[in-house]
Amino acid sequence: MYLADEAWPDLESYLDAESVALVPLGSTEQHGPHLPEGTDHLIAEGLARAAADRGGYLCTPTVNIGVSPHHKQFPGTMWVGAPEFRDYVESFTRNLTYHGLDRVVYVNAHGGNIEHLQEVGRRLYDDETAFAVEWMWDESIPELVDELFAENGPHGGPKETAMIQHLRPELVHGDRLESARDGGVLMSELEEAEPDGRRRGMVNGARVFYDAADNTDNGVLGDQTDASAAKGEQLFEAACEQLVELCDWLSARETEELRPKPRR
């Protein structure tokens, strides 16, 4: 069930019996010359809505803009500050608990959101308001990702390319996949040592870069030519299955199991 499509009398009867909500979150940021800026939130929304339909859960509207200042040099990237993002997510999650939804899955598709969603979950857990967890789609199926792609990449690489080829093929610039690869960076190249023995972007154990533009001229990593809609469908179906199982697990827990244990 998609919350924004429903009238309140229908939601009232639904909320009387259910306690789990899926909240899709992503970003609006560069994903290289071949993918749309909405890549992350398109993936998050696709997975959240499919899992909600298949598992009988509630899906909220999507949070389309996340913590993305590290992509700011590329035209069109939008972002919010980390404190504002955390406060916003915490606020609307508390709103969900007002309606009886005290088990929340943040269906996330943007790496820059991870630590902030986990922090919000911690706050809500500590004051016993809700049990909210961050879920990142590719982290639920790491073996499959490794199996499908020889040169994967964390941003704009073949896994995200394949997912958008599956979900929204009309938004993928197929004629730019080779230039995306050639103008970006392969993960194997990132792992190679510099002439002085240091890894790229590292000095004496410290990471000395903040922005994507410091490492990749066109904003992407990995071999995009290794992607296909068929691989995207495999990824989507496997991740969706993992998400439904997570929601089933949450739904089956007694409230006491999702609260902090008392002091010893």
| pLDDT tens, position by position, 110-166 | 999 999 999 999 999 999 999 999 999 999 999 999 999 999 999 999 999 999 999
Task: Tell me whether strands 103-108 and 206-207 are parallel, antiparallel or unpaired.
Answer: unpaired
Residue pair 46/236 in contact (Cβ under 8 Å)? The answer is yes
Closest CA to 35 of 214, 157, 215, 217: 157
202 — pLDDT class (breaks 50, 70, 90): confident
One-letter identity of residue 109? A
Task: Report whether pLDDT(55) > 60.
Answer: yes
Closest CA to 83 of 120, 134, 130, 55: 120
- What CA–CA distances, in Å, run from 58 to 87, 101, 132? 22, 9, 14
One-letter identity of residue 2? Y
List pLDDT tens digits, range 64-110. 999 999 999 999 999 999 999 999 999 999 999 999 999 999 999 99
Pick the CATH number of 3-257 from 3.40.50.1820, 3.40.50.1400, 2.60.40.1120, 3.40.50.10310: 3.40.50.10310
Measured in residues, the chain has a length of: 264
E-assigned strands of the chain? 20-25, 58-59, 103-108, 131-136, 202-203, 206-207
Task: Report whether pLDDT(41) > 60.
Answer: yes
Confidence at residue 157, expressed as pLDDT on a 0 to 100 scale = 96
Task: Report whether pLDDT(188) > 90.
Answer: no
Confidence at residue 221, expressed as pLDDT on a 0 to 100 scale = 94
Please count the other Cβ atoms lying within 10 Å of the Cβ belonging to residue 122. Answer: 11
Q: Whole-angstrom Cα distance, residue 68 to residue 40?
A: 11
Average pLDDT rounded to a whole number, residues 194-200: 63
Where do the domains of the chain lie? 3-257
Task: Report whether pLDDT(7) > 80.
Answer: yes
Token pair for 169: 């093929």
Alpha-carbon torsion (201, 204, 206, 210), positive or negative: negative
